[in-house]
Amino acid sequence: MVNDNSISPLTPRHTIAITGGAGFIGGHLVRRLVVTGVRVNVLDDLSTGSEGNLPDSNLVTLIKGSVLDPSAVKQSTHGTCLVIHMASVVGMRLATEEPRYAFSVSKNGSQCVADNSFNTPLLLFSSSSVYGLGNDSMMMREDISVTRDIALLYDGGVEGYATGKWELERVGIDAMNTGRDVIIIRPFNIVGPGQSSAYGMVLPSFVRRILRGLPVIVHDDGCQTRSFGDVETFIEIVMRLIRTSNAWKSGYNIINVGQPELISIKQLALIVMAEVERNVPLEYVAYNQVFPGKTDVRARLPDDAHLTSLIGNIKWKNIREIVRECIHHELSVQQTSRKPSASNTFDNNEAKVARADQNDLKPSTIVDPEDETVS
């Protein structure tokens, strides 16, 4: 890193704080850090995260609290060498139901973290949603001007998830201008084993429904495209960025992280069917019927030139490999949940499984292709 707080390489003498660390990506990151012997303080209110996502290790301390609570932030970040701020509202469904809360968690929560973390270096998780609606042919580059109005248009004119993430970036830039070390990453649709379908995330929703022989619901014509990156590779990229001094330098420290290949939502559904070896009907629902006042993003493709210039070439898993891993995980979850004494591990707590099962039984279950939300 840039200043004397360097954490390269990571060693057992280090402690890292992670907000939202009991979520899908957070749980994977905590597990990866524990392997290196690093101590991790996790701040999470468990509203969508789960203790089951965290490893059973004396290196992990869970502080149950909110990023909007200064005392909880101070408790979790005291004595740490790095703060990784991931806490956020999960999924388009929740973000649409509670836009003001989604906005507040991102804006005010980020400010609270910045103000109460003792000038510790910050790694902030923004979102590809700050690029707005874009267009079918546009690759998202970090040097594209992203304005609050662009994010607000994505949010349908009401301050919400994207606008909050735009504000999060302003918090990071302001902190950087005071001399603080900051990295801002913009994840693009990170998926993999352990991601919950309870909030409408597209890949686990497709896997669960197709395994059960239920129809798959897609928005509009299903031809909208996304880039799906596997969580394992994503975590390794985060680890490498932490150790890369140039990634912390002003002008270099806003970074896209995503698989630079597109696949349509319809194609994704067909791939899951092929891997499960079961065909189910595709049911098409107008996007504005599900999310009134909003427009779906037709394409979202990251330009990864800046990322590769910092850490070198990246080999992401292909979509079929990711799908197979998700199917295998879901089958193992189903098998474990049938056992009377099943323990709740890695996002398999009873409440979430029950919620996902209830969603699977609804003919109008809506899947959300905006999976970059991380908590």
The dihedrals phi and psi of 285, each to the nearest 5 degrees, come to -130, 135
Identify whether the C-beta of residue 140 lies closer than 8 Å to the C-beta of residue 128.
yes
Mean pLDDT in the chain? 88
Model pLDDT, residue 289? 87
What single letter denotes the amino acid at residue 158? V
Neighbours of 24 (CB within 10 A): 31
DSSP state of 250: T
From CA 154, how far away is CA 131, in angstroms rounded? 8
Write out the DSSP string of 13-70.
T-EEEEETTTSHHHHHHHHHHHHTT-EEEEEE--SS--GGGS---TTEEEEE--TT-H
The dihedrals phi and psi of 330, each to the nearest 5 degrees, come to -65, -40
Exposure pattern of 320-338 as b/e (b: 16+ CB <10 Å)?
eebbbbbbebbeebeebee
Model pLDDT, residue 10? 73
Output the 3-class SS for 68-82.
Answer: CCHHHHHHHHCCCCE
What's CA 349's distance to the chain center, in Å? Answer: 19
> Which pair of tokens denotes residue 64?
């149950």
Domains along the chain with CATH numbers? 15-187+231-257 (3.40.50.720), 191-227+260-301+317-360 (3.90.25.10)
- Which residues of the chain are modeled with pLDDT < 70? 1-9, 136-137, 339-375
Model pLDDT, residue 4? 39
Beta bridge partners of 15: 39
| Max Cα distance, the chain (Å) | 58
Model pLDDT, residue 286? 92
Identify whether the C-beta of residue 126 lies closer than 8 Å to the C-beta of residue 288.
no
